[in-house]
């Protein structure tokens, strides 16, 4: 049995892949695949409408929000957000909670005069911490506040939505669909697809309709223009049709699995199991304050890093794949999105316990 702990592109639900395999040569009785039909064909358009409705049902997206299926992944949105909803002379607020929000900040600086970092991660007695919102230096006139609720590389998460007076923009690339959220608290939610939605190259944007009316910067490229993409139902140009189809299948799978309430329970069980293993052993450690620990991406270090290579070699031999930490932080990282079964977390913890005992 293989368990794939990749941070992204990440494992997809096996039933979705099996269905896609089955439909590859004959989708909906056409005699060819979904990749070989016009995106404007009524059969394809119907599929996209159902995908949007399923996502709306899963996330309980209010009617005054538009859902866009765009190009350019998560990073495409790092530029699309400021270009669409801030003017060049604006001030925008960003929480710097790790590597991905740092990249977002760097990109925003190209398009907006003042990018104010409201807070960054601090090392406190309980570990790496995101300071509480009451300690943030918020700008009174920001066009929006941007944050990343789950930092994929750092394994740091902010589990509550910041309560601020400006539109909140969230990069949910690695946490979307992992638990229920109140969409009405956000101005924009966006996510690259390759963790909890489907294959890479697709991004989902959920935007409150009044923000579509903000003056976009004139030079925003048309494929990245939210207002035009909303008016064109995300078909201003040819979308990534296969990724959209797979996303639609993942949404159906999620509904059949019990929706986001069920995912929240599932994800908490898996991550609790792994954190417990790390915390109860002097062989492993995790440096993040308990309230900011991610339930999707769990970094952990071996107290003796000289054993890292041996740990990874043995893990792979046992079918536990892609556990190497990101090149910027080293150590290990286990990513466990919706598609990772509990048995995967269990197999990892069993292996870690055995490995620690053998190297005492
Ligand atoms: N934001 C977050 C939180 C991510 O984890 C990633 C990718 N791992 C990105 C943005 C960038 O996504 P992409 O590679 O699709 O541009």
For the chain, which domains are there? 14-256 (3.40.640.10), 258-358 (3.90.1150.10)
Structure tokens of 105?
A: 């900040």
Q: What is the ipTM of this complex?
A: 0.99
Percent of the chain with pLDDT strictly greater than 90: 97
The whole-angstrom distance between residue 277's C-alpha and the CA centroid of its chain comes to 25
Query: Catalytic residue at 195?
Result: yes
Bridge partners, residue 66, by sequence: 207
Lowest mean pLDDT among 79-93, 211-225, 259-273, 339-353: 211-225
Distance 181 CA to ligand 1 centre (A): 20
Digit-coded pLDDT (tens) for 86-120? 999 999 999 999 999 999 999 999 999 999 999 99
The answer, yes or no, to whether any atom of ligand 1 lies below 6 A from the CB of 8, is: yes
The answer, yes or no, to whether any atom of ligand 1 lies below 6 A from the CB of 154, is: no
The answer, yes or no, to whether any atom of ligand 1 lies below 6 A from the CB of 162, is: no
Minimum CA distance residue for ligand 1 atom 3: 173
Q: What is the mean pLDDT of residues 163-181?
A: 98
Q: Is 258 annotated as a binding residue?
A: no
Minimum CA distance residue for ligand 1 atom 10: 74
3-class SS string, 23-49 = HCCCCCCCCCCHHHCCCCCHHHHHHHH
Q: Catalytic one among 128, 195, 227, 270?
A: 195
Q: How confident is the model at residue 188 (pLDDT cuts 50, 70, 90)?
A: very high
pLDDT at 120: 98
> What size, in residues, is the chain?
360
* Coil vs helix vs strand at 85: helix
Q: What is the pTM of this model?
A: 0.98
DSSP assignment letter at 326: P
Residue with tokens 């900011």: 292
* Coil vs helix vs strand at 271: helix
Minimum CA distance residue for ligand 1 atom 5: 152
Q: Select from 247, 277, 253 the least CA-distant residue to 346.
A: 277
Q: Is the pLDDT of residue 206 over 90?
A: yes
Digit-coded pLDDT (tens) for 89-98? 999 999 999 9
Q: Which residues of 160-188 are buried (b: 16+ CB within 10 A; e: fewer)?
A: eebebebbbbbbbbbbbbbbebeeeebbb
Neighbouring CB atoms inside 10 A of 262's CB total 14
Pocket test residue of 106, 148, 152, 191 for ligand 1, highest count of atoms within 8 A of CB: 152
The answer, yes or no, to whether any atom of ligand 1 lies below 6 A from the CB of 152, is: yes
Query: Catalytic residue at 110?
Result: no
Pocket test residue of 69, 80, 100, 178 for ligand 1, highest count of atoms within 8 A of CB: 100
Q: Are 282 and 313 in contact (CB under 8 A)?
A: no
Residues of the chain by 3-state class (helix, strand, coil), percent to 5? 40, 20, 40
The whole-angstrom distance between residue 250's C-alpha and the CA centroid of its chain comes to 14
Q: What is the mean pLDDT of residues 160-186?
A: 98
């Amino acid at each position: 049995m293989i368990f794939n702990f990749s941070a992204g592109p990440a494992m997809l639900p096996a039933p979705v892949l099996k269905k896609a395999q089955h439909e590859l040569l004959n989708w909906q009785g056409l005699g060819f695949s979904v990749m070989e039909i016009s995106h404007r064909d009524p059969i394809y358009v119907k599929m996209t409408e159902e995908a949007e409705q399923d996502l709306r049902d899963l996330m309980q997206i209010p009617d005054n929000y538009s859902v866009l299926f765009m190009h350019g992944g998560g990073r495409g949105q790092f530029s699309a957000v400021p270009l669409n909803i801030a003017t060049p002379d604006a001030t925008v607020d960003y929480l710097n909670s790790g590597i991905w929000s740092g990249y977002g900040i760097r990109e925003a600086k190209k398009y907006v005069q003042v990018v104010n970092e409201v807070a960054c991660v601090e090392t406190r007695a309980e570990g790496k911490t995101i300071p509480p919102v009451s300690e943030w230096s918020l700008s009174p006139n920001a066009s929006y506040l941007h944050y990343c609720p789950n930092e994929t590389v750092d394994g740091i998460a902010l589990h509550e939505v910041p309560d601020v007076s400006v539109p909140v923009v969230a990069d949910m690339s690695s946490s979307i669909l992992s638990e229920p959220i109140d969409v009405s608290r956000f101005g924009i939610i966006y996510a690259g697809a390759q963790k909890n939605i489907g294959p890479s190259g697709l991004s989902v944007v959920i935007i409150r309709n009044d923000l579509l009316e903000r003056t976009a910067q004139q030079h925003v490229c048309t494929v990245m223009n939210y207002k035009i993409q909303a008016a064109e139902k995300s078909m201003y140009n040819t979308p990534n049709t296969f990724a959209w189809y797979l996303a639609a299948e993942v949404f159906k799978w999620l509904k059949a699995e019990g929706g986001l309430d069920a995912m929240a329970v599932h994800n908490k069980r898996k991550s609790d199991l792994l954190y417990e293993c790390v915390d109860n052993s002097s062989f492993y450690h995790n440096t993040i304050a308990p309230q900011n620990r991610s339930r999707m991406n769990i970094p952990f270090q071996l107290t003796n890093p000289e054993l890292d290579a041996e740990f990874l070699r043995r893990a792979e031999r046992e079918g536990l794949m892609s556990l190497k930490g990101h090149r910027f932080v080293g150590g290990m990282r286990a990513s466990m999105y919706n598609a990772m079964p509990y048995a995967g977390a269990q197999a990892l913890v069993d292996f870690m316990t055995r490995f620690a005992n053998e190297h005492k």
